[in-house]
């Protein structure tokens, strides 16, 4: 089945220790997104790629970086995690439809704990 895969599902890192979260997709979608979601809140968009074109949200901290080496893979790098970065990180993909509709397909998420 075509899908969005995130690894690992659970990640524990230490305060200030760099961490990388990965996302892969078999949907062959040209758009990939990274969201941060804290408890009982809506997902907050960090950035997205349209093919290799990177689009950063204005309020995304510099501490968060992303790489997309090819269509299938996208990585989220947190350079110096703080306690406030503990959250669920969601990867999503989409292929823009007629009329500008952007239906997104989410991975299961990576739960990040910062100790």
Partner 1 sequence: TQLLEQSPQFLSIQEGENLTVYCNSSSVFSSLQWYRQEPGEGPVLLVTVVTGGEVKKLKRLTFQFGDARKDSSLHITAAQPGDTGLYLCAGPRGSGYALNFGKGTSLLVTP
Nearest approach in angstroms of CB 40 to partner 1 is: 6
Nearest approach in angstroms of CB 90 to partner 1 is: 5
Residue 23 interacts with partner 1 (CB under 8 A): yes or no: no
What contacts 58, CB < 8 A, 6 or more positions away?
Answer: none
| Residue 32 near residue 22 (C-beta atoms within 8 A) | no
| Residue 107 near residue 7 (C-beta atoms within 8 A) | no
CA-to-CA distance for 72 and 64, rounded, in angstroms? 20
Residue 82 vs 103, nearer CB to partner 1: 103
| Residue 5 near residue 25 (C-beta atoms within 8 A) | yes
Residue 84 vs 101, nearer CB to partner 1: 101
User: Which residues bind to partner 1, rule: CB under 8 A?
Assistant: 4, 6, 31, 33, 40-43, 45, 48, 50, 55, 90, 92, 94, 96, 99-109, 111
């Amino acid at each position: 089945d075509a899908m969005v895969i995130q690894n690992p599902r659970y990640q524990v890192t230490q305060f200030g220790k760099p961490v990388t979260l990965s996302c892969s997709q078999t949907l062959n979608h040209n758009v990939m997104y990274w969201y941060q979601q804290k408890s009982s809140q809506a997902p907050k968009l960090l950035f997205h790629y349209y093919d290799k074109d990177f689009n950063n949200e204005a309020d995304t901290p510099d501490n968060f970086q992303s790489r997309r080496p090819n269509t299938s893979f996208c990585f989220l790098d947190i350079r110096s995690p703080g306690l406030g970065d503990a959250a669920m990180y969601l990867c999503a993909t989409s292929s823009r439809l007629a009329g500008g509709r952007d239906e997104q397909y989410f991975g299961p998420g990576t739960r990040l704990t910062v100790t």
